[in-house]
Amino acid sequence: MFKHFVNLQWKSFFRSSNFGKGLALKIIVGFFAVYMMVSFTVLGIGLYFILQKTYPDTDPMLIVSGYLLYWVLFELFFRYFMQKLPVMDIKPLLLYPITKSKITHYILARSGLSGYNFLALFIAVPFSVVLLSQGYPALQVMGWLFAIVCIILTINYTNFIINKSDTVLWLLGTLILALYGLEYFNVFPVKEVVGQWFFNLYRHPILVLAPLLLAIGTYAVNYNFLIKKLYLDASLKKKSVKVETSDLTWTKRFGDIAPFLQLDLKLIWRNKRTKMQVFISLAMVFYGLFFYNMDSYGETSTIYLFVGIFMTGIFLSNFGQFIPAWDSEYYGMMMSQNIPLRKYLESKAGLISVSIAVMFLLSIPYVYFGWKALALNFACALYNLGVNVPVILFFGSFNKKRIDLTKSAVGNMQGTSATQFLVILPLMVLPSVLYFTLKTFVSFEVALITLSALGIMGFAFRKNLLDKITEAYRKRKYTMIAGFKEQNG
C-alpha cells in the first residue's frame, strides 16, 4: 500500500505543471540548496575545531549542548512559517478502500521525511563524524546523534500540534528573547543549566530513551488527532479566518489614491507572504550590524553603501519587485474597472516611499558607528526614494507571472522570473559602482552628495517618470492579463 502512496507522490512531483517550466529558476534554487547543504556540512565539520580553539578549556560537546535549546526553539519558530502538514493531498484517497489508519500513517511518515528535518542533520552528522575521529566513544556519539534525530522528529510533530497557532508563535518568540535576556544580563545561566541536560544525553546513552519517547509521543498525539479528523469538514477543510476589519479612513487624507492605499494595506496585512515581507524588512535593519562590527572594511567602504541601499530599500525590493503581480488574481478586474492606472501606481510608490522613510528612521542608531554611517544611510534613502522607486516600478511592467496570495510565505518562488534577478543590477549594483568610483577618485563627500542629488532629482521629476512608467504598463497590459491568468505560472 505504501508503495502506491510513494508512487503517487512521485507522479505529483514530476507531472506538476510547474515541472520543466522555468528551468533557470530551478537551477538557481537548486544551486542555493546545494550551497546551504555544503555550508552546513562545512560548519558541521569545522564546528568542533572552532569551539576547541575559542574555548580551549571546555569540552566542545558541552558548548554545543548549551545551544541546543535555542536551536529547538528557533526551529519551532521558523517551521511555523515554513511547514504545513500536507493534508490536502489525501482528499481523493478518502473515497477509496484504504483504511484511515493507513492514510494517517502515510501523512505523518511523509512529513517525517520532509526536507526540513534533514537540514540540522547536515550539521549533526559531520559533527559526529569529527567527534568519532577525535576519539570520542562511539556508543555515546551514536546515542547522541540518535537523540538529535529524535528531537528533530519531535520538533516536526510538535509543529503540527501547534498547528499554526499565532499565540504559540508569539510565545516562542518571547521565550527565545526572554531566555537570551536572562543569559545576557546574568540573571540566570540558561545555557549552562539546560546545556547540562543535553550533555547528559551524550554522557548516558540510556537517556536517549527520553527524546525517543517524546518523538513517539508527539507522533501518537498527531495520529490520534488526525484519524478523528479525517473528514472533509474537519481538518481537510481550509481554515477560514474571522475577519477583523480595521478602519482605514485616515488614508482619506492622501486624496484620490486613498482607495488603492487601503487596498494595498489590506493586501499586505491579510496575506501571509506579504505580511512576512514586512517582518523580514523590519528585521533587516540589523543587517548592517554584521558589517559595522567588523573593522576590516574602513569607514567608507563600498560595502556600507550596499548595506545602506539594502537596509533602507529592503521593502522596496521585496515588495516592489512583484508589483503588479501581487494583484494578479484580480488584475482583469482592475483593468476593466474605472481605475486610472496612474493612481494605482502612485499608491504603490507612496507605500514604498513610506517604507524607505521608516527604514531610514530605524537605521538612525547606526550613528553609533560614526556620523559617516548616518550620512551614508541618508544618501542611500534619498537614492532609493528618487531613483530606485521608479526603477522598480518600471521593471514591474515586465512581470507577468501569477502570484497566488493564499499560498504559503516561505520558499515560495511564485511570480519569480528573470526580471527579479535583472532588477538587482540597477537597484543595488549601479549605485555601488557609482559610489566606489567617486569615492576612490574624488572623495567620500562628493560620492554621497552625488547619490543624494540623483535621488532628489528623481524625486523632482517623479511626475514625468510616473507618466512614462504608466505608459509602459499600458503597453504591456494584454501580456500581463494573459500571464496573470495562467495558474502555476
Partner 1 sequence: MITTQGLTKKYGSQTVLNIEHLEIPKGQSFGLVGNNGAGKTTYFSLLLDLIQPTTGQIVNNNVQVDANEDWKPFTASFIDESFLIGYLTPEEYFYFIGELRGQNKADVNALLANFEDFFHGEILGQRKYLRDLSKGNQKKVGIVASFIGNPQVIILDEPFANLDPTTQIRLKAIIKDMAAQKEVTVLVSSHDLMHVTEVCERIVVLNKGEVVRDIQTSAETLRELESYFAGNLQTAEDE
Chain residues that interact with partner 1, rule: CB under 8 A: 238, 240-243, 245, 258-259, 262-263, 266-267, 270-271, 329-333, 335-339, 405-406, 478, 481-482, 485
- Maximum CA pair distance of the chain? 78
What CA–CA distance (Å, rounded) separates 328 from 405? 9
Q: How far is the CB of 406 from partner 1 (least distance, A)?
A: 6
Closest CA to 155 of 189, 121, 130, 125: 121
Sign of the four-CA dihedral 362, 363, 367, 372: negative
Minimum distance, C-beta of residue 472 to partner 1, in the bound complex (Å): 16
Helix axes 371-383, 444-460, angle to 10 degrees: 30
SS3 322: coil
Closest separation between CB of residue 226 and partner 1, Å?
23
Residue (230 or 261) nearer to partner 1, CB: 261
Among residues 351 and 448, whose Cβ is nearest to partner 1? 351
Distances (CA, A) of 273 to 18, 73, 278: 20, 22, 9
Min dist. Cβ of residue 92 to partner 1 (A): 20
User: Quick one: 214 or 480, whose CB is closer to partner 1?
Assistant: 480
Q: Which is nearer to partner 1, 53 or 242 (CB)?
A: 242
Cα–Cα distance for residue pair 107/160, rounded to 1 Å: 12
To partner 1, the closest distance from the beta carbon of 271 in angstroms equals 6
DSSP type of residue 236: T
CB nearer to partner 1: give 206 or 243.
243
423 vs 480 by CB, closer to partner 1? 480
Residue among 112 and 332 whose Cβ is closer to partner 1: 332
DSSP 105-155: HHHHHHHHT-HHHHHHHHHHHHHHHHHHHTT--HHHHHHHHHHHHHHHHHH
Cis peptide before 365 (omega within 30 of 0): no
Q: Are 261 and 254 spatial neighbours (Cβ–Cβ below 8 Å)?
A: yes
The residue count for the chain: 489
The least distance separating partner 1 from the CB of residue 255, rounded to whole angstroms, comes to 12
Nearer to partner 1, 350 or 426 (CB): 350
We find the least distance from the C-beta atom of residue 409 to partner 1, in angstroms, to be: 14
The x, y and z cell numbers of residue 83, run together, are 511547514
Task: State the Cα–Cα distance between residues 163 and 316, nearest whole angstrom.
Answer: 32
Handedness of CA 173, 75, 153, 164 (dihedral sign): positive
DSSP string covering 442-460: T-HHHHHHHHHHHHHHHHH
The distance from CA 258 to its chain's CA centroid, rounded to whole angstroms, is: 30
CB of 342 to partner 1, least distance (A): 11
Distance of closest approach, residue 94 Cβ to partner 1, in angstroms: 21
Least separation in angstroms between residue 446's CB and partner 1 is: 46
d(CA 45, CA 50): 9
Q: Which is nearer to partner 1, 335 or 352 (CB)?
A: 335
Comparing CB distances to partner 1, the nearer of 429 and 482 is 482
User: What is the distance between the alpha carbons of residues 381 and 368, in angstroms, rounded to a whole number?
Assistant: 18
